[in-house]
Amino acid sequence: MAKTATKPKPWAEAATHLVDVAMGRRPADLVIRNGRWVNVHSGEIIAGTDIAIAGGRFAYCGPNAGHAIGQGTKVVDAGGRYLVPGLCDAHMHVESGMVTVTEFCRAVIPHGTTSMFIDPHEIANVLGLPGVRLMHDEAVAMPINVLVQMPSCVPSAPGLEHAGAELTVADVAEAMAWENIIGLGEVMNFPGVAANDPVMSGEIAATVRAGKTVGGHYASRDLGLPFHGYVAGGPEDDHEGTRAEDAIARVRQGMKAMLRLGSAWYDVASQIKGVTESGLDPRNFILCTDDSHSGTLVHEGHMDRVVRHAISQGLKPVTAIQMATLNTAQHFRLERELGSIAPGRLADLLIVSDLAAMTIDEVYGRGVRLAKGGKLDIDIPAYNYPKTSKNTVKLGRKLKSGDFDIAAPMGANEVRVRVIGVIENQAPTRALEADLPVEDGLVAMDRRNDVCQIALVERHKGTGGVTNAFVSGFGYMGDCAIASSVAHDAHHIIVVGTSKQDMALAVNRLGEVGGGVVLFSKGKELALVEMPIAGLMSDERAEIVAAKADKLTEAMRQMGCSLNNAYMQHSLLALVVIPQLRISDVGLIDVTTFQKVDLFV
């Protein structure tokens, strides 16, 4: 495998050389001939185009680059194939891939992703500002553009959960000076913004003063005054819409509507109707993944998958590509660096043989071929995480089955309880109710009606605290339990099961391995994905992690779960900033009112 190229000089320093190449006074490093130029600025596909690259940047884009070919110039014949800008993921969390930044890049580069805008608020909730710095520094070392958004809400909902760390306005202001910070990560505390919470307004102000982009996260269906107050507070985009009216409302208020297709979030088809049916300007729509786990990356793709899906929903290929390239670059104030094949920009491009199917033959980043035929073509050295980033699962004690007992009110034979209802392929949950029997003074599960137990186990301070509740939607029928130290956003341990004994075994196993996700059935471990880095990421290769994740998915199916990407649904059950009902270390949380509620109705 070839080594990656050094980072290109800034355009201002490289401009005179680019001019000389464009004029034929100096040779290009690489010329790609006879391509169909997918021009995202004009919306055209221009046949018979040559592209000349020098110093990792585009120097000439036109009908004949013969004048830029010298003795040392490498020439590639595109053979009439499409020349597409490298794809950009506008909002995502590397940690949700179960792997490090390095391994995430290894997985997505063959799928045409050359720019990622990452929000490392998962590791921030465990390790605080030092954790963000670790991922920031790893991102700088990558052969593609990995830009970092400074996490804004750690914890995501103060008072409703306790994370392993806390970020302040001063932390955000400090990070804005780091070389690879592109803006503020999704501002999830939307009630705080509308209420002029000083932390939220202070973080947004620090970002605006730095001239950087403020990421949004308005996870409410209420488009009334709270929404208007949120927009007035400064967030510039939002990826939490699930309906066409959500996307339309955001665009009308000057925000960018980010439409996500992740491993378990399918929000493109409904919202793209704002363009295909309502005729809104597509330049204000951006594609992203938000969360993709390793199995999706290895088997299905990344941003190529999202673009392909958008095209299938009725978009012209060029329009869909704009939403994954130029629109993203413009939003983050990087139009002169990324997002198009045009002079001066970083030479990130794809050679594509079928545009509608996004069949990517070759991937170039900064003028270097990074992948060919779906295989990585370069060497990316592993990034070593320090010992301080590991051994973060602190249970304080061994758990036992009795820790998951739920005592019924005195004398009750049946109780009505609140139940978290999982919605397939969406991040929101439903607030359900169920009548459950009481056996020997304890509330019993009802697996015949798909009601099993969920518990959140504190894992940052070693308090031994356990919060118990009920969940519906997974369909587990066998005796089992699945536990995960990935539990957005505070990242305690979530365990869901039909067997209290298996629940205890699963949680204790994560304490032994330092975090990850594990499934037990009848006392036997059926699947395990170790994630020792902050209890969030594996230090193994993406394909190895994907194989372990596949084994986990199959084990979940054997237990009766047929949900698409059920693990992703599992990992969001403690996300107390997305309605309707969630669990935290504080208790059961009604996210429509942002209040703790009783388990019993």
Alpha carbon distance 331, 334 (integer Å): 7
**CB distance 218 to 428 below 8 Å:** no
pTM for this structure? Answer: 0.94
Dihedral sign of CA atoms 301, 58, 38, 328 in order: positive
pLDDT tens digits, residue range 350-394?
Answer: 999 999 999 999 999 999 999 999 999 999 998 999 999 999 999
Superfamily of domain 1-80+341-373: Urease, subunit C, domain 1 (2.30.40.10)
CB 529 within 8 A of CB 540: no
Sign of the Cα torsion 420, 422, 428, 432 reads negative
Residue 146 tokens read as 């990995």
Beta bridge partners of 3: 379
Nearest to 520 by CA among 470, 481, 566, 476: 481
pLDDT of residue 5: 56
Give span(s): CATH 2.30.40.10, the chain: 1-80+341-373
- pLDDT score recorded for residue 294: 82
Q: Where in the chain is the domain with CATH 3.20.20.140?
A: 86-337
Residue with tokens 């000076």: 177
Of 139, 68, 65, nearest to 100 by C-alpha is: 139
549: pLDDT strictly greater than 70: yes
Residue pair 83/37 in contact (Cβ under 8 Å)? The answer is: yes
Query: Scanning the structure block, which residue is given the tokens 């518990």?
Result: 455
Query: Rounded mean pLDDT of the chain?
Result: 96
pLDDT at position 1: 56
Mean pLDDT within 163-186: 97
Q: Residue range 294-304: average pLDDT?
A: 89
Q: Is the pLDDT of residue 17 over 90?
A: yes
| CATH code for the structural domain at 86-337 | 3.20.20.140
**Which pLDDT score, from 0 to 100, does residue 435 have?**
98
Amino acid letter, residue 70: G
Tens of pLDDT along 214-252? 999 999 999 999 999 999 999 999 999 999 999 999 999
- pLDDT category of residue 3 using cuts at 50, 70 and 90: low
Q: ∠464-132-518 over CA atoms, to 5°?
A: 45
Of 52, 146, 545, nearest to 380 by C-alpha is: 146
Residue 125, Cβ density class (10 Å: 0-12 exposed, 13-18 middle, ≥19 buried): buried
Confidence of residue 298 (pLDDT cuts 50, 70, 90): confident
Whether pLDDT at 4 is above 70: no
CA dist., res. 598 & res. 433, Å (int)? 12
* pLDDT computed for residue 513 by the predictor: 98
- β-sheet with 581-583: strand ranges across: 581-583, 588-590, 595-597
Exposure of 421 in the CB half-sphere (CA atoms within 13 A) = 10
Length of the chain: 601
368: alpha, beta or left, given left = phi > 0 and alpha = psi -120 to 50? Answer: beta
